[in-house]
Structure 1
Amino acid sequence: MNMPLLARPEDVENAFYEAIAHADLDALMALWADDEEIVCVLPDGRRLEGMSAIRERWRALFAATPRITVRLSQPLHWTSMLLAVHHVIETFYTADDPAPKSCVLATNVFQRGVNGWRLLAHHASAAAEFPDSDETGAPGLAQRVLH
């Protein structure tokens, strides 16, 4: 699948979650950088390295749960000329159920190259607590004392 030139890291991130929502494996894989050192860590803790390992795991995920919607909240973005890092909170929904199923902390790393911006790494891990709503109504991490 040929992907259009993606001008911003946000374009890649939006397309990534849109591909997940449509269980579109080809669209999802077209967003990754053309580099065998791409990496994807999903909340199950497995580290997937390279295009074939990442493709196979997402294929299995889409086969098991074809309707997943991910809503992002509390984004933190760092961008330079050739690299961008986004840290977000992902809240997962399945099918038409309005109740959230899980909350995940995710870091997406994007690389700018000749084909525009592409995903270099996606690292997701389970949040310690289910999010509370922030002032906008979007999910956010619960307040807690660290020390």
Structure 2
Amino acid sequence: MPRFARLFEAAADTLNAYYQAVAEANVDSVMALWIDEEFATCICADGTHLHGLERIRAGLATQLGAAPVNIEPLDIRVYDSLGTVVYAIAEAHQPVGPGGAPRMIFTTYVMVHERGEWRIAHIHASAMPQEAAGQFAAKMRHGQGPLH
């Protein structure tokens, strides 16, 4: 097994911690996963651009306060190199609580290895077009996998 196998698995631990913190609407836990640099950026599924840690914290606090979500990754593509991991994920975002309709989101996470830990440097989310979401769901129902 390659020497760096565990190194990249740890990036998945950061992603899982992000999903958990979002589900709990715990902004402090979410922000603890970000790189400690002001160049951090987040483009939200609604098109909001957040640049810098303070704006990311404020934007996520507003979003999570209004509508915390459980995020279920449906298809994950991983691109890694020494010091950087990029996840391209098709996700189902299910609002926590009654009455919310799930949304299909394409999200890219860029993580960097900083001081021995994997940290989020950038998130880019965009709503999946309705037609693509329907095709994606149909393929999953028929057991073809999401991207066949």
User: Structure 1 length normalisation: TM-score?
Assistant: 0.82
Structure 2 partner of 1:106 = 107
Cα 1:134–1:72 change in 2 (3 A) is: same
**1:120 aligned to 2:126?**
no
Structure 1 partner of 2:88 = 87
Deviations 1:80-122 (A, max 9, x none): 1100100001101123559852100000000001141100001
Structure 2 partner of 1:77 = 78
Output the amino acid matched with 2:129. A
Higher helix share: 2
Structure 2 partner of 1:3 = none
In 2, the alpha carbon distance for the partners of 1:126 and 1:112 equals 28
Number of residue pairs aligned between Structure 1 and Structure 2: 136
In 1, the alpha carbon distance for the partners of 2:42 and 2:20 equals 17
8 Å CA contact retained: 2:23, 2:96: no
Q: Identity percentage over the alignment?
A: 26
* CA positional deviation for 1:53: 0.4
* Matching residue within 12, 15, 39 for 2:14: 12
Structure 1 unaligned spans of 5+: 1-5
Structure 2 partner of 1:43 = 45
RMSD: 2.6
Structure 2 partner of 1:134 = 140
* CA positional deviation for 1:8: 1.5
In 2, the alpha carbon distance for the partners of 1:59 and 1:99 equals 19
Structure 1 partner of 2:65 = 63
Q: Secondary structure at the match of 2:92?
A: strand
8 Å CA contact retained: 1:16, 1:28: yes
Structure 1 partner of 2:3 = none
Structure 2 unaligned spans of 5+: 1-7
